[in-house]
Structure 1
Amino acid sequence: MSAIDRAAPGPDVAGRSPSVSDEVSDDEAARRWRLVLGRYAADELQVGQQDQGLERSLRYLYDREYTARGHRVGRGPGGSGEGGGRSGGGAGLGGSQPHGVDVTALGWLNEAGSLFPRETFERMQVDAVSRYGLTELLQDETALETLEPSRELAVAMLQVRGALNEQAASGLRRIIKRVVDDIVRRLRPRFTTAVNGRIDRSRRSMHRVARNFDWKRTLRANLGRVDAEGRMTVQDVRFSARSKRTLTWDVILLVDQSGSMAPSLLYSAVCAGILSGLPGINVQLYLFDTSVVDMSHLAADPVEVLMTAQLGGGTDIARAVRHAEQQVRNPSRTVVALVSDFYEGGSVSNLLTTVRRMASSGVTMLGLAALDEAAEPVYDQGTARHLAECGMEVAALTPERFAEWLGEVLS
């Protein structure tokens, strides 16, 4: 995102949701353009009193875009920092702030959090860390509590992890843990329900819990209790039993850790951690770029996996799949899930040969296409099509849908 876009990352800067049918007055249009253009419109447009805080917060963060391009941020009239980008004698953002204002990263964080709607504030946090290097936010205890954890923030932090000092890395771990814990709370019930055994409708269950509720049999059992107005009095509530697996399955997760895979890596680590805690499943986790790293010993700890992963580098999917093939002990009870964008830097022909051989042996294979930060699939469709022709089921699945698919396979 360029600095010119700084005032409109979703809802407008005042927190309202824009609508194509909105009629904007000339004064309101001028106000918005002043916030978008910042100090570069100071000679023509004034900042209203109600927008001083918005302007200050936007300027503190997004003026870094101009200085990164070599612009000098000078002092305007009265030292307010409203001068042109190349004029004036001042250089540096701190000196251009009004006197008496907290210009630390924490001060900016507190002010921005109170002025902007949550969605906008979360995006500004991501820009602060990933684009403008405000990693001091990770070194302040108060700032760590103020930061709004989100998947986007976690992904941005993972991508800059290699440039962090020890104290900042410790703060990053705390943020990652909060994000991971939130995702686990949401996903674990889905995996537990889907994977811990299929519903057996031939047997009634004594475990009267929501996930075992059998609404079809309940309706049939109470058809005789419908009054003249069509209302049913339910007295006999039916629940179905679940058939437990008696044999262990091997689930081998191959996760591409090239630079574009950070969002998928986050969810893959969480899924591996949840699966590791379920009975009857042996999880093997491998991260790969041009080499393959065995993370199976850390699979139960998603945070440690994410803190250890090395995002970036090339991609050799064929090498990773060959490595997985060597780990297969019982093909008919093995699932190999490849998480990748399928942009192969190695030999596509070797990749397809290995996939065809594994599928023929009875290994269940799933190719999970990478999802971007908006949960949209981003992958090489040509390679994906060839993989599907060789026996790999290829799909762009959310983690919830992956849980359902895995439950169907393991049943």
Structure 2
Amino acid sequence: MTGTGSTTAGPPSHGVPDQEAARRWRLVLGRYAAERLDVPAGDQRLESTLGYLYDREYTARGHAAGRREAGRRGGGGSGGAGLEGSAPHGVDFSALGWLGEARSLFPRETFERMQVEAVGRYGLTELLGDRGTVEAMEPSRELATALLQLRGKLDPSVADGVRRVIERVVEDVVRRLRSRFLTAVGGRVDRSRRSMHRVARNFDWKRTLRANLGRVDGDGRMLVQDVRFNARQKRALTWDVVVLVDQSGSMAASLLYSAVCAGILSGLPGIDVRLVLFDTNVVDMSHLAHDPVSVLLTAQLGGGTDIARAVRFAEGQVRDPSRTVVALVSDFYEGGSVSELLAAVRRLRASGVTLLGLAALDETADPVYDQGTARRLAEAGMEVAALTPERFAEWLGEVLA
């Protein structure tokens, strides 16, 4: 602030915190701040790498690189000193070179986000055309869902790259989830035997109390040294698990995890999985339930939603109602008849089918959904929740035990 009350537009020159703030603002604003904020020598690679991707935002909004708008700052000059290009320090990136540079400069979480924005927001799909580059990408749920949403718009030449990215993401998710499903859903509790699997689901509190009764001190506190767990047995009878998955665009992440969960369940003994995708049509994908990648590459995200039609289809798949679970994965924004949907749910519930409505089946379990329809489904007999895949495995284990 000067003595006349005017403000200065340049970066503050006093104190390390102000210098750091100016540095960060320069990286955020990019080359359009070049006249007011300099790039520190140590930030030139960061500036170039960020600019290669995010200067596309300015271009998309009509800002021209290399010149100023006529009449700006100084009363109408026709050009003057222009703005710098997207690689202002002589770095001439290709999309493939940019990927390697970004990986080397930024933390993993930041790099993953930049990948998603490069492909999903700014259309750098050439990253998917080279096998080596695809292998160098960091597989993430966000990248896979972005590709699923874009898949119908991508050039066929990158189809192999899209498949490989989704394969790597699915492999990673399966690796994390398989043991949880094996533990939770792999069999029923056998209370006659002790278990070697020391997990919370198998904890036997009654036996643990009895085993430690002799270790109670004068204040009534028990010193627990012998913790008991129940074993689990294989099921003698088969359960039918029907998974209905909404293909609307907002359900991309839930579709990914639904396909993976169905794939894991299809490999467990005593469970017969029916996997059904729906929009206004119903597509039975049960023959591919064991192959989540093929399911995901077949799915068509977007379009309308007829949940009632999908639930009526599930009715036709029921063989033994008392041993059937129908899991509906949807945001519950019904484009068809809500009354028909509720009627079908009531019929299934009255017959003895166990019903679960999942507003989200993903790692955040933080859905956007039609709360009115969800409430009416709950009143009709469907348990409604938003679950992580791990919690879904636990819920199934409780039902199938």
Q: Label 1:159 to 1:339 Cα distance change in 2 as closer, same or farther (>3 A).
A: same
One-letter code of the match for 1:378?
A: V
Tell me the number of residue pairs that the alignment of Structure 1 and Structure 2 aligns. 374
1:340/1:367 contact within 8 Å kept? yes
Q: Secondary structure at the match of 2:276?
A: strand
- 1:68 CA displacement: 1.8
Distance in 2, Cα, partners of 1:175 & 1:92: 35
Q: Label 1:176 to 1:367 Cα distance change in 2 as closer, same or farther (>3 A).
A: same
Distance in 2, Cα, partners of 1:91 & 1:238: 71
2:258/2:361 contact within 8 Å kept? no
Q: Which residue of 1 aligns with 2:11?
A: none
Q: Which residue of 2 aligns with 1:29?
A: 21
Deviations 1:212-269 (A, max 9, x none): 67576356436658999x99796x7755332432111111100001111100000000
- 1:315 CA displacement: 0.7
Q: Which residue of 2 aligns with 1:208?
A: 196
Is 1:327 equivalent to 2:317 in the alignment? yes
One-letter code of the match for 2:105?
A: L
2:31/2:85 contact within 8 Å kept? no
Distance in 2, Cα, partners of 1:370 & 1:333: 24
Q: Which residue of 1 aligns with 2:237?
A: 247
Q: Secondary structure at the match of 1:45?
A: coil
Q: Label 1:145 to 1:390 Cα distance change in 2 as closer, same or farther (>3 A).
A: same
Distance in 2, Cα, partners of 1:402 & 1:160: 28
Is 1:48 equivalent to 2:37 in the alignment? no
Overall identity of the aligned pairs, in %: 74
Distance in 1, Cα, partners of 2:222 & 2:385: 43
Deviations 1:356-400 (A, max 9, x none): 111111111110012678541211100000000101110111111
Distance in 1, Cα, partners of 2:157 & 2:93: 21
- 1:91 CA displacement: 11
Deviations 1:292-335 (A, max 9, x none): 11100000000110111011111111111111111112111111
Q: Which residue of 2 aligns with 1:39?
A: 31
Distance in 2, Cα, partners of 1:122 & 1:157: 14
2:215/2:224 contact within 8 Å kept? yes
* Structure 2 alignment gaps of length 5 or more: 1-14, 69-77
Distance in 2, Cα, partners of 1:89 & 1:142: 41
Give the TM-score of the pair, scaled to structure 1: 0.84
Q: Secondary structure at the match of 1:327?
A: coil
Larger radius of gyration: 2
Is 1:382 equivalent to 2:372 in the alignment? yes
Deviations 1:48-97 (A, max 9, x none): 01111111111000111122223221279xxxxxxxxx968999967x55
RMSD: 2.8
The 5 A counterparts of 1:63-74 are: 63-74=55-66
Q: Label 1:343 to 1:223 Cα distance change in 2 as closer, same or farther (>3 A).
A: same
Q: Label 1:137 to 1:369 Cα distance change in 2 as closer, same or farther (>3 A).
A: same
1:152/1:373 contact within 8 Å kept? no
Give the TM-score of the pair, scaled to structure 2: 0.86
2:52 to 55, 60, 63: 60
1:60/1:93 contact within 8 Å kept? no
One-letter code of the match for 1:204?
A: R
The 5 A counterparts of 1:12-411 are: 25-74=17-66, 96-99=87-90, 101-201=91-191, 203-205=192-194, 208-211=196-199, 214=204, 217=207, 220-221=210-211, 238-370=228-360, 374-411=364-401
Q: Secondary structure at the match of 1:70?
A: coil
Distance in 2, Cα, partners of 1:255 & 1:297: 15
One-letter code of the match for 1:208?
A: M
Larger CA deviation: 323-332 vs 360-369? 323-332
- 1:204 CA displacement: 1.9
1:74/1:88 contact within 8 Å kept? no
